[in-house]
Amino acid sequence: MALAHLDVPAARGVRMLLTAEPATGQPAAQLVLAALLGIALIVVLITWLKLHPFLALMIGALVTGPVAGLAVGASVGSFTAGFGSTMGGVGILVALGAIYGKLLADSGGADRIVDTLVRRAGPRSLPWVMGLIGAIIGLPMFFEVGLVLLVPVIILVARRSGVPLMRIALPTLAGLSAMHGLVPPHPGPLAAISALGANLGLTLAFGVLVAIPAVIVAGPLLAGLVARWVEVPAPELFAGGETAQERDRRPAFAPTLASILLPVALMLAKALADILLVAPQGGALDPSASALKGVLDFLGTPVIALGIAVLVGFAVLGRAAGFSGARLGRVVGSALEPVAGILLIVGAGGGFKQVLIDTGIGGVIADAVKDSSVSVLLLAWLIAVVIRVATGSATVATITAAGILQPLTSGLDPATTALLVLAIGSGSVFLSHVNDAGFWLIKEYFGLSLPQTLKSWTLLECVISVTGLAGVLALSLLV
């Protein structure tokens, strides 16, 4: 399977993991010890010594590499490469999302959406509504894009309704995460489908069936419990300015909703084009179809889609609120200041992840697991789990597990092969922790402490993973 679509550091990490040989030439026990030491050091520095997470992650990465046998220079190179790769992708999305979220809040557009939601859905039904919104937004979107779009809505719904933040946030995050890990056309499931030769339509149908109970269990049901032990107020990150609070002019509901859904529609169009506009075997697309696919590929790229949403937001939301050009400039400036720290933390998380990948620990763990005698579906889930926990990357876990299991698919029927993809996808989201950039996004956006993030977001990811596996095993008894 081609790795051309992965960023350079991730591609290097995937190739290394697929070889299942430690890159440092060190014993497997030393690599495992290095990873555990690095993770423990980060936790201690943040929780006990109260060091800023950016510095803690950098120190943890630069200790882990040499302990695992990487040269100091190579460790620094891995960290900076992972930092740059993460900032080049997630960082741009966070910045654009912050601008759009601040514009949505200051213009009164978020207030309009939230007022409508709160008025039409009572406190008991709001978690279910937010879970549905997260699943719909998450169907065509990368997790990070859906997150930065929905964070201002989550915060304002919690603030306006009086419902605890976790009861609003977790169902939304469950919808985004379950769709990202289980349902094509997200990159992880698509990569596994390609590697294993699974049927796309069958995998999509099974993926939706597995994702629905995962969203319900990890969303509204789990949120009621988590809200009891993670009591945090809605942060002020996207609070509207005084001008917005005093204005009677607010964007109408329909154009505000349309501006939110615009990047969703663009990315969905790209996803459908990837599925439907496929050249016949040995042939090529006709010129008109090829041109259409090129346009949709460009417009549906996450950075482009979100950038277009920001520009449309300036026209639709800003004009409706009566904002001048100078006022829009102040919105952009005030939006970027609060997320500067978030960007550094997320980038450092990507750097730590890359150091772990470059040590080759994922391949060592995968080798140990694949020699076991468990069922193929459980084995697929377990391999993805251990690589995800070791490297912090759902994409690396998915691609590596699919590569390891590919020889087993020759004797499987299409339904089982599709379920194998979903078992891998379920395992790839398990136990998000300090080596996952998404962990730091959630922590900083919602103003959580590290233990609170573990007790909410990390637990949610584990529940999605286990519920997804249960759904896969249940379907395997019926097909």
Q: Where are the domains of the chain?
A: 20-277+285-476
Q: What is the pLDDT of residue 15?
A: 39
* Residue burial 54-71, b: 16+ Cβ < 10 Å; e: rest: bebbbbbbbbbbebbbbe
As a dihedral over the C-alpha atoms of residue 317, residue 323, residue 325, residue 330, rounded to 10 degrees, the angle is -90
pLDDT digits (tens, 9 = 90+) for 395-418: 667 776 776 677 677 777 888 998
Highest mean pLDDT among 37-51, 154-168, 352-366: 154-168
Q: What is the pLDDT of residue 173?
A: 95
Q: What is the pLDDT of residue 3?
A: 32
Give the model's confidence band at 148: pLDDT under 50 very low, under 70 low, under 90 confident, else very high: confident
Q: Residue 190: what residue type?
A: L
> Is the model's pLDDT at 433 over the cut of 60?
yes
pLDDT digits (tens, 9 = 90+) for 166-199: 999 999 999 989 988 887 766 677 778 877 888 8
pLDDT digits (tens, 9 = 90+) for 11-38: 333 333 334 344 556 677 888 888 888 8
Q: What is the pLDDT of residue 252?
A: 83
Backbone dihedral region of 371: left (phi > 0), alpha (psi from -120 to 50 degrees) or beta? Answer: alpha
pLDDT digits (tens, 9 = 90+) for 93-144: 778 877 887 887 788 887 787 777 777 877 888 999 999 888 877 765 667 7
> Is the model's pLDDT at 45 over the cut of 60?
yes
Dihedral sign from CA coordinates of 457, 458, 462, 465: positive
> Is the model's pLDDT at 242 over the cut of 50?
no
Q: Which tops the pLDDT comparison, 212 or 266?
A: 212
Give the model's confidence band at 372: pLDDT under 50 very low, under 70 low, under 90 confident, else very high: low
8 Å CB contact between 103 and 317: yes
Tokens linked to 393:
């990357």
- Mean pLDDT over each residue of the chain, to the nearest integer: 80
Q: CA 227 to CA 220: how far, in whole Å?
A: 11
Q: CA 325 to CA 319: how far, in whole Å?
A: 10
pLDDT digits (tens, 9 = 90+) for 247-300: 457 788 888 888 888 887 887 788 788 777 777 766 677 888 888 888 988 998
Q: CA 97 to CA 50: how far, in whole Å?
A: 28
